[in-house]
Structure 1
Amino acid sequence: MATRQRIMRIRRDYNRWVADETMEDYALRFTAESARKWSAFRVANTALGSISFLALEAIGGALTVAHGFTNSIAAILFVSALIFVASWPICLNAARAGVDIDLLSRGAGFGYIGSTITSLIYASFTFIFFGIEAVILAAMLDSFFNVPLWLGYILCAVVVVPLVTHGITFISRVQTWTQPLWLVLNVLPLVALLVAHPEWIEGWTAYGGEHGTGGFNLLAFGAAASVLFALITQTAEQVDYIRFLPPRRTQKPWVWWGALLAGGPGWIVFDVLKLLAGSFLAYAGLQAGLSVAQAVQPAEMYRLAFGALIGSPVLVLVATSVFVALSQIKINVTNAYAGSLAWSNFFSRLTHSHPGRVVWLVFNIAVALLLMELGVYNTIEQVLFIYSNVAAAWMGALVADLAVNKPLGLSPPGIEFKRAHLYDVNPVGVGSMLLSVLVSFLAYYGFLGPLAQAMSTFIAFGTAFAAAPVLAWATGGRFYLARKPRAAWARNPALSCVICEHDFEPRDMAYCPVYTGPICSLCCSLDARCGDGCKPHARLSAQVMTPLRAALPAPLLRALSTPVGSFTVVFLLFAATISIVFLGIRAQAPASADLDAAFWKAFFVLMVIGGITAWTLVLAHNSRAVAQEETRRQTSLLMSEIRAHKRTDAALQKAKENAEAANMAKSRYVIGMSHELRSPLNAILGYAQLLERDPAIPERRRDGLRTIRRSGEHLAALIEGLLDISKIEAGRIELYRDEIRFPDFLDQIVQMLRLQAEAKGIAFSFDAPPRLPEIVHTDERRLRQILINLLSNAIKFTRAGSVTLGLRFRSEVAEFEVIDTGIGIAEEDLARVFEPFQRGANVHAPSTPGVGLGLTITRTLTEVMGGEISVTSRLGEGSRFRVRLLLSGKGHAPAVVEHRISGRAGASQPLRVLVADDDPAHRALVADLLEPLGFATRLASDGATCLALAAAEAPDLFLLDIAMPGMTGWELARRLREAGQTAPIVMVSANALELGPPGEGQHHNDVLTKPISVTALLEKIGQLLGISWTFADPPPTAAPAARLTPAQAANLRQLAAIGYVGGIRERLDALEAEAPEAAPAIAALRGYISDYRLDAFMAALPKEDA
């Protein structure tokens, strides 16, 4: 199966002229309802600005002089009535659909590419009549002010450009401002002339023409009517404005229909009056003594009329000049505007490019200017004869489809204009137009007799009008729509184009299978890469080849498909076209042997040029076809590879999801285990803190309690480390800004790690600057974790030698260095030393516990805190880890004296605290802590009991666990608030730092984590209840701890050498009685003996030379 090519979406950025809809005026696309913002009156008035063109007076005058009053007036009235009837369905359908004449032709029988022919016909009309009007003004400038014609042509062309660049927005203003003045200047001189010479009316009606007999002559009538019928193309210019009429549902019926009638087919009513005025003024000029050439010039006509109104020759000249200039500007802004739309539509379909309507505006005016400078308009009557046949054929087919085919159901209702939904060529419109052009040209060149020659324009219109329904019936109307639009889109107010990424109304959008999304009509028209992937059967090539395959034998068809066969076909088309043109030109020239010889020479020269051109086109086409075929083949291979990659990606994604699920299960297990560990640890640490504060505990037992508390805190830190691993894997790490007493903080770490190093027989040193800030701000727990991880690793992997912690502090940047003389790290392992689960490949490394996450956590924490970490190492010589962190600080801090809370100040009655926790040890701990301080505690093991106790007596404070059976702490807090409880709620749980369900956490006041800190709990209670605490007297300041003397240390070392543990304990008790000031040192030694760590005990003893 062939693979449909998919093209990468590249956003189309239009240039400034195209992107600005004020300048672009919806060229190439239908007029969106949001753009129809002008009133119906203003749109109609703008459309009626076209009635000002003075070519009407010139045509009326020329026909009257040539064919007399009777024939010219009959032709004017007949053609005007026919144009009115033909214009009505065109204007009505354009106003309903909001489309210009090109888009209307696409959907009314011509197809997407077929309507390029009509665009060319329409563009020709605009520059022909632009030139006629400009010639009239330039002739006046030459006659009145001696301005050279070539310069007058340039001035007449250039003056229009700035008035048309901004489309209907500015044109409507121009027409509104100039309409009253133009009407006055047009009507008053005519009335004055009629009043001054009423006898001329009778002479005008009896005028038989320059060579006429005065009666009706069918041939003269036909000749006059054929010229006039070219004006039917003016309907297309009206449509370009009528499309801006607001939607009918938004207007009163009589307003909308009146505007449509006046601005649409009603233009011909006003043109009839101007044609009659031109006829009369030409006769008046002849009566006034003007020559025939002067009498048919509009400037001379109105100069004569203004002379009847104004006595001053100078003022007559001024008034005539103003009127002619105003008329020329009013009509030529419309001609130029319509031409810019026609050329935009024509070239966009042939070149798939659109530089902007303004570019084609200048191009249209340049073509007209070139023809003026070449003097083509001197033979304008002959041009109009030929043009009117072609225009009549176009309009006949268009009117037939709108007025006959659609009402009878021979063509689909509505106007479809999008490339994606149309056949390239619809044989209904194109076929009927070509047939009528052929018949009318036969008539025009005299092959059907003199009467048919005179009536050739009507033959063209009638043939097309009759052929269109027949062809629609014969084809079954199947060439109107290549595919149907998506009906579901009609419910959307707007859709976004996948190419230009702008929003458009659904009527302007089509689904593109190549870009796999909605595409606007403009991007669709300009796309040259899709190859009409949405309608391959509707392309011009497919439409041509389908009947050829059915009509021609297969061998002949294969022969024609070769390069030689293609060249033959293209060359014959060139030859036929050139022959028809030459025959038409030769038929108009007199018989001459020399002329025949010249024609034959020119014909053969053009045949040679045509042959070269045909070969160029054929070879270029073949090269393009080969390139496209290679592109399709490569695309097919690429799509196959993409499908394989998708299968691989799906397998990888599934494996990733399985791994993530396993990781999530592990994280949930770690969190669950941490919760289970924290609950009993909370009781251990809580009671250890209570006992430490109890004055009844003997001093010699306090060391043991402190050991219990420190061990519990160490275990809590290990649990936090496990949670850190889970948070790192989830990408969720929380940082806090703590106030750290920096020297004390460092001293704690140094003392802790020094003991560990000395127990292993390793020297430990701390190299710090003499001056350090007293206070720094950072996350204390994370900084402690970083340093302990690095120092622990250094001690762990150092068998002998030393470990040094270095510190440099400058400009609030701390640089820590951990230097060891251990085994070192191989160079190939340095790059992955911070990767998870990496232990290094050194076979001589000691067997040490761990899973290889310490350095990973350290690096992650350092980077999250905004710092950096690096390492240098040499195998067998040691390693150096360097950590740089920003530690903002201040110089001094007040001394901290810990006061033990003894009660509440001014307590008259106990405060009620309701504790809800499923752990009885935690409930008992909180009761033991708070009741001695003047609190009355109520204990609940679950949420239901808590609600019942709260309803019985309103507590002053709630302490709630989160994970309880039956009802979570979050739900309990919510129900307490719903029950009207306003007392503060503190959540106390091992899960307090984990995320609760969405929407939870809005009913409590604070959070504490297990294991709880007694000091932190009391501080929270004091803040929430506004309590002033009373404190016990602080203990007397202890003297500096003394060390054991060398003799005492030697005695203990001898006992340890023989392993006499009992003797060591007795000797330590005796030493504590002899030297109470050495109690801290003795307590540390007792700890080693309790664990039977004699090596560490001996290492902790003072050296003999101390």
Structure 2
Amino acid sequence: MSIPIASKVVKARRDYNTWVATETLEDYALRFTPKSFRKWSELLVANTAIGGISFLALEAIGGSLAISYGFANSFWAIVIVSIIIFLAGLPICYYASEYNIDMDLLTRGAGFGYLGSTITSLIYASFTFIFFALEAAIMAQALELYFHLPLWLGYIICSLIIIPLVFFGVTLINQLQFWTQPIWLILMISPYVFILCKDPQALHQWVNFAGESPSGASFNPLLFGSAATVSFSLIAQIGEQVDYLRFLPDRQPENRRQWWIAAIAAGPGWIVLGAAKQLGGAFLAALAVSQGVSFAKAHEPIQMYLVGFEAIFHNPEVVLGVATFFVIVSQIKINVTNAYAGSLAWSNFFSRLTHSHPGRVVWLVFNVAIALLLMELGVFATLDAVLGLYSNIAIAWVGALVADLVINKPLGFSPSYIEFKRAYLYNINPVGFGSMLVASAIAIAAFLGAFGSTAQAFSSFIALGVAFILSPAIAIVTQGKYYIARENTHFHETSETAIACGICSNLYEPQDMAYCPIYDTAICSLCCSLDARCHDSCKPNPHHPWIAQLQTLYTQKISPHIGQRLLSFLLIFSSISGFIALVLWLFYTQQIAPVVEATAQVQLSFFQLYAVFLVLVAIASWWLVLSEESRQLAQEELDKQNGQLQQEIAERLAAETALQALTQELEARVIARTAELTQALHQLQQAQIHLVQSEKLATLGQLLAGVAHEINNPVGFIFGNLKYAEDYNTDLLNHLRLYQKHYPNPVPEISDHAEEIDLAYLIEDFPHMLSSMKVGIDRIAALSVSLRNFYRCDTTNKVACNIHEGLESTLLILQHRLKANQKRSAIQILKNYGDLSPVECYPGQLNQVFMNLLANAIDALEEERSPLDTQGFQPTISISTILEPNKAIIQIADNGSGMPPEVQARLFEPLFTTKPVGKGTGLGLSISQQIICEKHGGFLSCQSVLGEGTVFKIELPIC
């Protein structure tokens, strides 16, 4: 049963996991590399990976092999081993580049299990610090020769300068490799070119070089096998190549060719240049010996390239300076790679054992410190022995891994994909892990001479063959059931959509996520690795049935507590005692044996010293076991108390939840009752407003209808008699003209009277006066009709109405307000009427809306303005109508001063007004909105900008 994640993940753990996930420094050290981080081109990634094989240990190995085993044995060992390494590297680099995972994650999902790959991380980490020590020792030798620095000080300097260069991971390493690549290539190739041009016989000398080989320059199978064993130690270099290849962009049809070229050239292709460098080292070592350099010094790269650059430069100081510079550049290029890869390997190793991760930089320093210790112990002098022993383990690991990729997966013995997340893996997979252990044990025994000289010489081939055969054999026997502990049913798709981790709260791609039933949330692979509380409870059996059977058998014979203590003790004791044995062996072979005769007494003293150390280690190991057991018991007790506390918290939370639910229910009832009362009050207010407005409209309508009727009677009388008046006037004037025609000389009294009344003007003006009276009567009649139309009583049903008639009636009524006054000039009316069909509406109420909006527009244009604003200002009201599908739109706009946002927000509230007391009720716009929205099912809106004006928009459905 899962509980809320907040009660499971304390803030300290959440903050810690969030800090660990900071990829600026981490470079996705413990996880899949997402697409968002892979921002480099194929060429740049390949260039960085190829730059990592600049290490001069290749030349040193080649020179050492040539000196120890002669030309033929060393040559064929390098060639045959390089071919095998190339073939083994192909599937490894393909899967790592395709799934964007490092060597540890690839091993984890290809037959080794979650904890099984921990051992391989240790093998890989050993490779990085061994070769870091070798490369730094080579650079220290150059510093000793050029600057006369003591070797111990040179070791420290060569180690410390690498740390800041690797601090920011592949981001800085990319730039370092890019800028140093041309210099390194030129300085590496040019000595060979000049030597062969000046002395073609140098190749003949190399072919016949015998060194210290018992067989001379000829071929000897046993010596060939011994040389191959040393060369096989380079097989782990493929892990460093993979650490860079995981940053390749996704393979798409448009970049398929570049992707394959980069994956092969920078992946398994490294050994092509690596083999050439080994052969070049053997060649330069033979040349150095021919020029008087001792066997003990001839395999040192600085000595080799001193001989090489002497073919280019004649000045000894220039030769020494260029050779030293080349060694420094080469060793920095490779040691940033060794240190970077080592920090990744140690991060993987300790994060799974301790469930904590202090950061990749901590393990970077740790890796460099181990390499420094090996340098101070003289690891370079035991190059063949160290690499020969190491190669047997490395080749067993790679052999088991390659067998799973090229046999088990294609044949269906294992899943076709790479699953690397802890949540879905068994801790131990016997396919890869078991194959590696068996092959390593057999190969080391052979290397130590347990099976004779032939098996000793070919121990590395034995390791490769045994691992390669055992992996599919174990997969067939186990039917591949130890690859996947539980199916991934949540995040198996490939997608770029980021998912938040429930622990660290960061976003990751689905390929990096798992579902955790313990926390009941999505969890990233890093947080899953760091969690120590779940004890793999998400998996039915995190170990395996066969381990459970062994545990059952074991507990039947020995107490479970004693057995667990003994197992822990043996693990810690063997690890520490093995490391101390290695240190004492290196110290004895490098510091004691060269100066003191290896007598039985000296050897016994070392054995006695080692025995003392074993006693101390045993005591310390047992103390660690008991301390860990005490810690676990305390943790179990604490977990139990936490469980009880969580149960009590859960009960109190349940009670609190019930109380909150009751409180919320009461609050909801109060809110519902308040809402009902508010709604009732609002309805009452609306009813009151409607009642007042209806009564007002009814009274005003009756009054105006009566006034219009009373005006209409005399207007009709006058209008009806004007025609007769015009006819009578015409008749009288015609009669007067006839009289003047026949009696042109009237008596003086008539002439005086005609002059007094200005008869000529009267005859001319009287018809005009009658015409003006007719115009006035027409206007009075039109006004009467407008009053009747505007305030006519609405029916209970909507009627089809011409919107334009209502607008014109409203404008006619308001015509007196449109004239100029002391505050402003005459208001200009701009009409832009569209072709509207009749609209079903309540005409009287709709005309009331037009009246309110036009009256407000006129009021806005009459507001006080500054003298500067009124200069040249033409007050204007624009009326436009637009026909749209199923609706008519009427817009009434003015160019007044506009309204601020706070006024617009309250514009349609009842009783809200910005006018002084007595100038407005605050009901006009509220009633208008109700008429448009509620009565007509339309929409009324307002847009206003200060200083620019206001636009009211009415939308009415046509039907």
- Scaled by the length of structure 2, the TM-score of the pair is 0.71
Cα distance per residue 1:297-326 (max 9 Å; x no partner): 211111111111222222222221221111
Aligned to 1:66: 68
Cα distance per residue 1:423-474 (max 9 Å; x no partner): 2222222211111121112111111001111111221222222211122222
Which amino acid is 2:683 matched to? H
Aligned to 2:503: 499
- Does 1:434 pair with 2:437? yes
Aligned to 2:326: 323
The DSSP-based 3-state class of the residue aligned with 2:323 is: helix
- Does 1:203 pair with 2:189? no
2:96 to 90, 94, 97: 94
The correspondence of residues 782-801 of structure 1 with structure 2, limited to 5 A, is: none
Aligned to 2:514: 510
Would you say the 8 A contact 1:18–1:357 is kept in 2? no
Aligned to 1:560: 559
Aligned to 1:703: none
Aligned to 1:239: 242
Q: Aligned pair in 2 of structure 1 residues 949, 132: CA closer, same or farther (>3 Å)?
A: closer
- Does 1:332 pair with 2:335? yes
The DSSP-based 3-state class of the residue aligned with 1:535 is: coil
Would you say the 8 A contact 2:62–2:281 is kept in 1? yes
Which amino acid is 1:255 matched to? Q
CA-CA distance at 1:672 after TM superposition = 2.6
Which amino acid is 1:982 matched to? I
Would you say the 8 A contact 1:15–1:355 is kept in 2? no
User: Structure 2: how far apart are the matches of 1:106 and 1:917?
Assistant: 86
User: Structure 1: how far apart are the matches of 2:175 and 2:253?
Assistant: 23
Would you say the 8 A contact 1:912–1:957 is kept in 2? no
2:600 to 570, 584, 592: 592
Would you say the 8 A contact 1:112–1:423 is kept in 2? yes
The DSSP-based 3-state class of the residue aligned with 1:403 is: helix
CA-CA distance at 1:46 after TM superposition = 1.1
Would you say the 8 A contact 1:956–1:984 is kept in 2? no
The correspondence of residues 133-144 of structure 1 with structure 2, limited to 5 A, is: 133-144=135-146
User: Structure 2: how far apart are the matches of 1:435 and 1:110?
Assistant: 13
CA-CA distance at 1:233 after TM superposition = 0.5
2:910 to 1008, 1011, 1016: 1008
User: Structure 1: how far apart are the matches of 2:418 and 2:889?
Assistant: 70
The DSSP-based 3-state class of the residue aligned with 1:52 is: coil
Q: Aligned pair in 2 of structure 1 residues 60, 488: CA closer, same or farther (>3 Å)?
A: closer
Aligned to 2:747: none
Q: Aligned pair in 2 of structure 1 residues 386, 915: CA closer, same or farther (>3 Å)?
A: farther
Aligned to 1:189: 191
Cα distance per residue 1:838-884 (max 9 Å; x no partner): xxxxxxxxxxxxxxxxxxxxxxxxxxxxxxxxxxxxxxxxxxxxxxx
- Does 1:660 pair with 2:668? yes
CA-CA distance at 1:639 after TM superposition = 3.6
1:528 to 512, 527, 532: 532
Which amino acid is 1:675 matched to? Q
Would you say the 8 A contact 1:167–1:337 is kept in 2? yes
CA-CA distance at 1:296 after TM superposition = 1.6
Q: Aligned pair in 2 of structure 1 residues 546, 15: CA closer, same or farther (>3 Å)?
A: closer
Aligned to 1:299: 302
CA-CA distance at 1:160 after TM superposition = 2.2
2:45 to 39, 43, 52: 43
The DSSP-based 3-state class of the residue aligned with 2:271 is: helix
User: Structure 2: how far apart are the matches of 1:977 and 1:983?
Assistant: 17
Aligned to 2:896: none
The DSSP-based 3-state class of the residue aligned with 2:910 is: strand
- Does 1:392 pair with 2:392? no
Aligned to 1:1090: none
The DSSP-based 3-state class of the residue aligned with 2:890 is: coil
Aligned to 1:912: 790
Q: Aligned pair in 2 of structure 1 residues 665, 341: CA closer, same or farther (>3 Å)?
A: same
CA-CA distance at 1:959 after TM superposition = 9.6
1:345 to 336, 345, 348: 348
Which amino acid is 2:346 matched to? W
The DSSP-based 3-state class of the residue aligned with 2:357 is: coil
The DSSP-based 3-state class of the residue aligned with 2:45 is: helix
Q: Aligned pair in 2 of structure 1 residues 638, 544: CA closer, same or farther (>3 Å)?
A: farther
User: Structure 2: how far apart are the matches of 1:573 and 1:979?
Assistant: 86
The correspondence of residues 959-1038 of structure 1 with structure 2, limited to 5 A, is: 979-980=887-888, 982=890, 1006-1008=908-910, 1016-1017=920-921, 1020=924
- Scaled by the length of structure 1, the TM-score of the pair is 0.62
Q: Aligned pair in 2 of structure 1 residues 446, 61: CA closer, same or farther (>3 Å)?
A: same
The DSSP-based 3-state class of the residue aligned with 1:511 is: strand
CA-CA distance at 1:644 after TM superposition = 7.4
Aligned to 1:768: none
User: Structure 2: how far apart are the matches of 1:97 and 1:523?
Assistant: 20
Would you say the 8 A contact 1:31–1:99 is kept in 2? yes
User: Structure 2: how far apart are the matches of 1:162 and 1:607?
Assistant: 40
CA-CA distance at 1:574 after TM superposition = 5.9
| Overall identity of the aligned pairs, in % | 43
User: Structure 1: how far apart are the matches of 2:186 and 2:161?
Assistant: 23
CA-CA distance at 1:134 after TM superposition = 1.3
Which of the pair has the greater relative contact order for Cα pairs under 8 Å at 6+ separation?
Answer: 2
1:417 to 396, 417, 420: 420
Would you say the 8 A contact 1:46–1:171 is kept in 2? yes
Q: Aligned pair in 2 of structure 1 residues 405, 981: CA closer, same or farther (>3 Å)?
A: closer
Which amino acid is 1:289 matched to? G
CA-CA distance at 1:950 after TM superposition = 4.5
User: Structure 1: how far apart are the matches of 2:512 and 2:323?
Assistant: 47
The DSSP-based 3-state class of the residue aligned with 1:12 is: helix
Which amino acid is 2:790 matched to? R
User: Structure 1: how far apart are the matches of 2:21 and 2:462?
Assistant: 44
Cα distance per residue 1:143-178 (max 9 Å; x no partner): 233122222222222322232222222212222212
CA-CA distance at 1:408 after TM superposition = 1.4
Cα distance per residue 1:996-1040 (max 9 Å; x no partner): xxxxxx9997453699x9964488489999xxxxxxxxxxxxxxx
Would you say the 8 A contact 1:440–1:460 is kept in 2? yes
Name whichever structure is richer in helix by fraction: 2
CA-CA distance at 1:568 after TM superposition = 4.0
2:262 to 259, 264, 274: 259
User: Structure 1: how far apart are the matches of 2:397 and 2:489?
Assistant: 31
* Unpaired segments ≥5 residues, structure 1: 692-905, 920-929, 937-945, 961-973, 986-1001, 1026-1106
Q: Aligned pair in 2 of structure 1 residues 548, 1016: CA closer, same or farther (>3 Å)?
A: same
Aligned to 2:8: 7
Q: Aligned pair in 2 of structure 1 residues 298, 593: CA closer, same or farther (>3 Å)?
A: closer
Aligned to 1:382: 385
The DSSP-based 3-state class of the residue aligned with 1:51 is: coil
User: Structure 2: how far apart are the matches of 1:443 and 1:4?
Assistant: 56
CA-CA distance at 1:552 after TM superposition = 4.3
Would you say the 8 A contact 2:909–2:926 is kept in 1? no
CA-CA distance at 1:351 after TM superposition = 2.2
Q: Aligned pair in 2 of structure 1 residues 414, 914: CA closer, same or farther (>3 Å)?
A: farther
CA-CA distance at 1:581 after TM superposition = 8.2
Deviates more, 1:596-605 or 1:50-59: 596-605
Aligned residues: 760
The correspondence of residues 885-964 of structure 1 with structure 2, limited to 5 A, is: 910=787, 912=790, 948-950=840-842, 955=847, 957=849
Q: Aligned pair in 2 of structure 1 residues 675, 630: CA closer, same or farther (>3 Å)?
A: same
1:371 to 370, 374, 378: 374
Q: Aligned pair in 2 of structure 1 residues 567, 601: CA closer, same or farther (>3 Å)?
A: farther
The DSSP-based 3-state class of the residue aligned with 2:391 is: helix
Would you say the 8 A contact 1:142–1:149 is kept in 2? yes
Would you say the 8 A contact 1:977–1:1003 is kept in 2? no
User: Structure 1: how far apart are the matches of 2:493 and 2:196?
Assistant: 59
Would you say the 8 A contact 2:494–2:511 is kept in 1? no
User: Structure 2: how far apart are the matches of 1:351 and 1:916?
Assistant: 87
User: Structure 1: how far apart are the matches of 2:3 and 2:573?
Assistant: 40
Q: Aligned pair in 2 of structure 1 residues 629, 913: CA closer, same or farther (>3 Å)?
A: farther
Cα distance per residue 1:7-65 (max 9 Å; x no partner): 14637346998555343211101111222221111111111112311111111111111
Which amino acid is 2:565 matched to? F
Deviates more, 1:238-247 or 1:459-468: 459-468
Which amino acid is 1:980 matched to? A
Cα distance per residue 1:739-792 (max 9 Å; x no partner): xxxxxxxxxxxxxxxxxxxxxxxxxxxxxxxxxxxxxxxxxxxxxxxxxxxxxx
User: Structure 1: how far apart are the matches of 2:506 and 2:672?
Assistant: 43
Aligned to 1:627: 635
